[in-house]
Amino acid sequence: MPAVTFHGHSCFEIKGPDAKVIIDPWLTGNPLADIGQDAVDGIDAVLLTHGHADHFGDTIEIARRNDALVVATFELASFCEDKGCRVHPMHIGGAHDFPFGRVKLVTAIHGGGVDADESGRYTTIPCGIVLTMDGQRIYHTGDTALTMDMQLLHNRVDLMMLPIGDNFTMGMEDAAQAIDFVRPKVAIPMHYDTFDLIAADAQEFATMVGDLAEVRAIKPGETYQLT
């Protein structure tokens, strides 16, 4: 079964029986990161929800050093390809089977743009990621507002990672409603406490969720093992 390691903010490393991927690898400059980008190795793919610096982060360096495939929306994948990365472009609603698992991109409501794009040629549509690995369905919402589309995943998710920090994303109340929409078995809060502006109490969030799902507020460097 996959093991999910949190590296702070919205970055997760997911290790399956035969492969390892990383989602939104912002490590350099991340005050909560437990490792630096040079410690990320053996990665088969980098999965991206959008191009903002606190998610795109160290993608280029990690992908190049590991010869890892970058999986992202078309525009963001094109930017990475121009930077010398191997890429697989996708878009919202599309799914594809990779050697490491199946990826489907789903709706997220957030901003666009690629912070690393000096030319200004690239804009992006943010997404959420549903990764199926070793029979387990893992939903990383990315940065998003609460959306009714989440109900399409009702009872179809084993592990959900979702923001609770408010201001730029859902706050705790909307995040609890998102869990009600999806009804995952387990939820891991993310995108909170990185800065004062997005401070949130994960235990209070767990109380709000109640028995809708098991909330695991893991710290950077900790791993949750799916069973």
Tell me the pLDDT tens digit for each residue of 88-120. Answer: 999 999 999 999 999 999 999 998 778 777 777
- Domain 3-220: top CATH class: alpha beta
- Bridge partners (DSSP) listed for residue 223: 5
Q: Kindly list the domain boundaries of the chain, sorted by start residue.
A: 3-220
* Residue 137: per-residue pLDDT: 98
Tell me the pLDDT tens digit for each residue of 31-50. Answer: 999 999 999 999 999 999 99
Cα 165-109-78 angle, rounded to 5 deg: 110
Longest pairwise C-alpha distance within the chain: 48
Nearest to 106 by CA among 56, 167, 175, 154: 154
State how far the alpha carbon of 106 is from the alpha carbons of 95, 112, 178, in Å.
9, 15, 14
- Write down the pTM of the prediction: 0.97
Assigned token pair, 218: 């893991």
Nearest to 8 by CA among 221, 152, 167, 205: 221
Q: At residue 4, does pLDDT exceed 90?
A: yes
Residue whose structure tokens are 């706050």: 171
* Residue 135: per-residue pLDDT: 96
Tell me the pLDDT tens digit for each residue of 209-226. Answer: 999 999 999 999 999 999
**Cα 58 → chain centroid:** 14
